[in-house]
Amino acid sequence: MLVVSYGKDAAKNTHDALAASDISAYLRQGMSVAIKPNLVVPCPASDGATTHPEIVDGIIRFIKDFGITDIKIIESSWVGDSTKRAFKYCGYSDLAQEHNIPLIDLKSDKTTSLECGGLRIDVCDEALKTDFLINVPVLKAHSQTRMTCCMKNLKGCIPDSEKRRFHTLGLHEPIAVLNLLLKTGYCVVDGICGDLSFEEGGNPVESNRIIAGRNPLTLDSYCAELIGCKPSEIGYISYGEKMGVGEYYSQKTELIELNAQNKPIRVPELGRIAERFTEQIDEAAACSACYASLVFALDKLGNPRFANKIHIGQGFIGKSGDGFGVGNCTGGFEKSVPGCPPKATEIMDMLIGSS
């Protein structure tokens, strides 16, 4: 079952979607609940990159009606950024104070090593020990995986060292395995104004919808089609379907639409900023934050052309060359910007000075 509720009132839409869903079958008095938003960077949800706090507020109020009081908000921003800063700037510090619930920065959490299909992954304990994990991602684009939604949002439940390692493993398969190891209780997708070109936000597209359902893969496959992607073309969705994470959305899936009078007339298709730059980038196991900084810099510069490719990623550790390097992993190149991740402005300075 999937429920989609349309409208500009995020809190009301969230309540309507949950009330019409089957989440009540899984909630019980006295259980512990961990809510996992997407706070990848410290910027307001209106920019299209982070989960609207109004949605999480609606979830908290809904589950409290079931006698649930042991509630936490858990998150780990991407590598190189501060979760605590994101909690503050994204409105979650005020939200937590209002409801008297803790904010858990998973960057400082202990981990447990779990194994599935020959792959061992360290997972944050706070995400594992909760009775019920509510996954609250933003439906938006991603420069490396085309889109990010429920399945990829669980990457915030692993330590930074594992986030980096995921990229050396190709990103897609470990994301699928993580969704087998860490079970999601329910998903509430923020489809209010996700950026359909870039995961860091800045180009929000107003769609005003909340999408709720239990299985993260089914939701992701549905959401992929909303923004013009075939689920089978998204690596981690394809891997997950073969591994048994869930089933693709199909005509057999029960779909309930609420407040259809507010439904967008046209849903814009995914526009991938990163695709414009692939010919200039030589990427090898680059972390998302580092890659996003490079894409942002190139976009700001108007996609300038260079004689040599720009190298980025952990695959260049210990290597050298005459071209450009972005990030600490490419320190051996003739011209390189240090940082993990480096700032986009610093990348721009290097590229401008070399043009």
Per-residue pLDDT band at 265 (split at 50, 70, 90) = low
What's the pLDDT score for residue 271? 55
The residue-averaged pLDDT of 132-159 equals 93
* pLDDT at 300 exceeding the cut of 80: no
Region of residue 184 (left: phi > 0; alpha: psi -120 to 50; beta: else): beta
* pLDDT at 55 exceeding the cut of 80: yes
> Residues 59, 188: contact at Cβ < 8 Å?
yes
> Residues 49, 192: contact at Cβ < 8 Å?
no
d(CA 142, CA 40): 12
> Residues 310, 296: contact at Cβ < 8 Å?
no
pLDDT digits (tens, 9 = 90+) for 222-240: 998 888 788 998 999 999 9
The residue-averaged pLDDT of 105-128 equals 96
The residue-averaged pLDDT of 148-161 equals 96
Where does 2-262 sit in CATH, by number?
Answer: 3.40.50.11440
The residue-averaged pLDDT of 9-34 equals 96
Q: Which of 60-74, 216-230, 293-307 has the lowest mean pLDDT?
A: 293-307
* pLDDT at 66 exceeding the cut of 90: yes
* pLDDT at 54 exceeding the cut of 60: yes
* pLDDT at 298 exceeding the cut of 70: yes
What's the pLDDT score for residue 225? 87
Per-residue pLDDT band at 84 (split at 50, 70, 90) = very high
Rg value, the chain, Cα: 20
| Domain ranges within the chain, ordered by starting residue | 2-262, 273-354
d(CA 289, CA 220): 22
* pLDDT at 280 exceeding the cut of 60: yes
Residues 6+ apart with CB under 8 A from 308: 322, 323, 324
The residue-averaged pLDDT of 22-48 equals 95
Choice between 197 and 97, residue whose per-residue pLDDT is larger: 97
The residue-averaged pLDDT of 242-261 equals 93
Count of beta carbons in the 10 Å neighbourhood of residue 257: 13
d(CA 328, CA 334): 13
What's the pLDDT score for residue 145? 80
Phi first, then psi, for residue 299 (nearest 5°) are: -65, -40
Choice between 124 and 322, residue whose per-residue pLDDT is larger: 124
Phi first, then psi, for residue 22 (nearest 5°) are: -100, 20
pLDDT digits (tens, 9 = 90+) for 331-354: 999 889 998 878 778 888 888 876
What's the CA angle centered on 44, arms 267 and 296, to 5 degrees? 75
What's the pLDDT score for residue 269? 52
* pLDDT at 253 exceeding the cut of 70: yes
d(CA 308, CA 83): 36
Q: Which of 171-180, 216-225, 291-300 has the lowest mean pLDDT?
A: 291-300
d(CA 317, CA 207): 41
What's the pLDDT score for residue 215? 98
